[in-house]
């Protein structure tokens, strides 16, 4: 491997430390404790593991953490009532409704019922519109974490060719907006893109967010490019023993790391930064709600 490893886990620890410092200041100087509410519907075990780790990180940063676990057959009306209750609760500054929701619930409707000022996921249409027009907004956690790592590694991103693979509302589209905001030349590639390898080979920055295990091989990567791997895919790992699994990204790590200038690993790359940015967004939301100065280095 010749690429520099971008250590998301270590970077996330520094972000979480900044968050904790800011939280302590809010407490001391203003008697405020930022509060995050996470709502999870259904009993997908993987989702519950993730929600637990968010709750733990929130408490470790000195913030209030509230979890609402609802049955898989919860009605839309009941979920909307809970969201409205959290919207008006002054001790709650951030609301996250874990996605995906069970099929009978309208995700757009539920997300857009969240007070945009408390929408720490940045998924509400108001925040999407604000981001797209370069106005102050809540920025989705995963793209924000990727941007922080890219800025840290490159300094300025101005003029760089960036290719985002994947066009989801959660990662691909907001990532493209953020890169455009930092003056990259941005291409959004997807499953219908003609000659994807050639498109990716032009990129100084590759952000892979498709959810297909190891789909980007090293020979698509321009020598020296920066590779941000957003994918977290669990695959069988018979080499570790029968029934064992392991996590891989959307990029084939070994071959990409041979050519790239820098690369994020999976696990330990984008994932930990996503959680750190959720905490950062909760502090930002708390500051804005109280007309206080925003935490430096924790916003886009
Ligand atoms: N409204 C909403 N917002 C989300 O942000 C959201 C969501 N719904 N639904 C589920 C996905 C998933 N997600 C992850 C974040 C961090 C790791 C993470 O830290 N992963 C570790 C590995 C964890 C392991 O070992 O399994 C890593 O990459 O190093 C994983 C997954 C946020 N999500």
Per-residue pLDDT of 65-84, as tens digits, reads 999 999 999 999 999 999 99
Which CATH architecture group holds 31-115? Answer: 3-Layer(aba) Sandwich (3.40)
Task: Please check the confidence at residue 47 and state whether its pLDDT lies above 90.
Answer: no
**pLDDT given at position 144:** 98
**CA-proximal residue: ligand 1, atom 25 (nearest):** 267
- How far lies 90's CA from each of 86, 141, 225, in Å? 8, 23, 45
Residue 38 Cβ contacting ligand 1 at under 6 Å: no
- For the annotated catalytic residues, the residue numbers are 54, 98, 121
Note the ipTM here. 0.97
**CA-proximal residue: ligand 1, atom 22 (nearest):** 267
Beta strand 233-236 with 245-248 is: antiparallel
Reported confidence tier of residue 254, pLDDT bands at 50, 70, 90: very high
CA–centroid distance, residue 83 to ligand 1 (Å): 22
CA–centroid distance, residue 56 to ligand 1 (Å): 14
**pLDDT given at position 220:** 98
Q: Which two tokens stand for residue 172?
A: 């691909």
Region label for 299, one of left (φ > 0), alpha (ψ between -120 and 50) or beta (otherwise): beta
- Give how far the C-alpha of residue 150 lies from the chain's centroid of Cα atoms, to the nearest Å: 14
- Say which CATH class 141-271 falls into: alpha beta
Query: Among residues 137, 44, 134, 61, which one has the least CA distance to residue 98?
Result: 44
Domain locations in the chain as residue ranges = 31-115, 141-271
CA–centroid distance, residue 125 to ligand 1 (Å): 22
Task: Please check the confidence at residue 45 and state whether its pLDDT lies above 90.
Answer: no
Please, what sign has the CA dihedral across residues 270, 275, 280, 285?
positive
Task: Indicate the Cα dihedral angle 58, 121, 48, 234, nearest 10°.
Answer: -110
Per-residue pLDDT of 223-241, as tens digits, reads 999 999 999 999 999 999 9
In whole angstroms, how large is the CA radius of gyration of the chain? 19
Mean pLDDT of the chain: 97
Reported confidence tier of residue 49, pLDDT bands at 50, 70, 90: confident
Ligand-binding site membership of 167 (annotated): yes
Question: Among 40-54, 122-136, 166-180, 194-208, whose mean pLDDT is lowest?
Answer: 40-54
Query: CA-CA distance, 260 to 163, in Å (whole number)?
Result: 14
Which of 41, 50, 83, when mutated, tests ligand 1's pocket best, judged by the most ligand atoms within 8 Å of its CB?
50
Q: What percent of the chain lies above the pLDDT cut of 70?
A: 100
**CA-proximal residue: ligand 1, atom 15 (nearest):** 271
Ligand-binding site membership of 31 (annotated): no
Cis previous bond, 226, omega within 30: no
Ligand-binding site membership of 155 (annotated): no
CA–centroid distance, residue 30 to ligand 1 (Å): 32
Reported confidence tier of residue 148, pLDDT bands at 50, 70, 90: very high
Instruction: Kindly give the number of the ligand 1 atom that is closest to the alpha carbon of 140.
Output: 5
Per-residue pLDDT of 123-142, as tens digits, reads 999 999 999 999 999 999 99
**pLDDT given at position 50:** 85
Measured at the CA of 33, the angle between CA 27 and CA 34, to 5 degrees, comes to 130
Dmax (CA) for the chain in angstroms is 56
Per CATH, 31-115 and 141-271 having the same topology is answered yes
């Amino acid at each position: 491997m010749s690429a520099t490893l971008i250590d998301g886990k270590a970077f996330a620890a520094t972000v979480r430390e900044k968050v904790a410092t800011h939280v302590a200041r809010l407490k001391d100087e203003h008697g405020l404790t930022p509060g995050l509410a996470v709502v999870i519907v259904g009993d997908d075990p993987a989702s519950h593991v993730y929600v637990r780790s968010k709750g733990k990180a929130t408490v470790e940063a000195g913030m209030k953490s509230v979890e609402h676990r609802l049955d898989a057959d919860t009605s839309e009306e009941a979920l909307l009532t809970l969201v409205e209750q959290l919207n008006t609760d002054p001790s709650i500054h951030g609301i996250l409704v874990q996605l995906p929701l069970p099929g009978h619930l309208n995700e757009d409707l539920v997300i857009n019922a969240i007070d945009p000022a408390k929408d720490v996921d940045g998924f509400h249409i108001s925040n999407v519109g604000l981001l797209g027009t370069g106005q102050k907004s809540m920025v989705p956690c995963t793209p924000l974490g990727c941007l922080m790592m890219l800025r840290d590694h490159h300094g300025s991103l101005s003029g760089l060719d960036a290719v985002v693979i994947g066009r989801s509302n959660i990662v691909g589209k907001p990532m493209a907006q953020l890169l455009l905001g930092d003056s990259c030349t941005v291409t959004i590639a997807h499953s219908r893109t003609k000659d994807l390898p050639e498109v990716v080979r032009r990129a100084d920055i590759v952000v892979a967010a498709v959810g297909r295990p190891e789909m980007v091989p090293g020979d698509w990567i321009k020598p020296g490019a920066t590779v941000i791997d957003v994918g977290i895919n669990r695959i069988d790992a018979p080499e570790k023993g029968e029934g064992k699994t392991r996590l891989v990204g959307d990029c084939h790590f070994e071959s990409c790391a041979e050519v790239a200038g820098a690369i994020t690993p999976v696990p330990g790359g984008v994932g930990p930064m996503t959680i750190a940015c959720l905490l950062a967004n909760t502090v930002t939301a708390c500051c804005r709600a109280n007309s206080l100065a925003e935490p430096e280095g924790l916003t886009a």
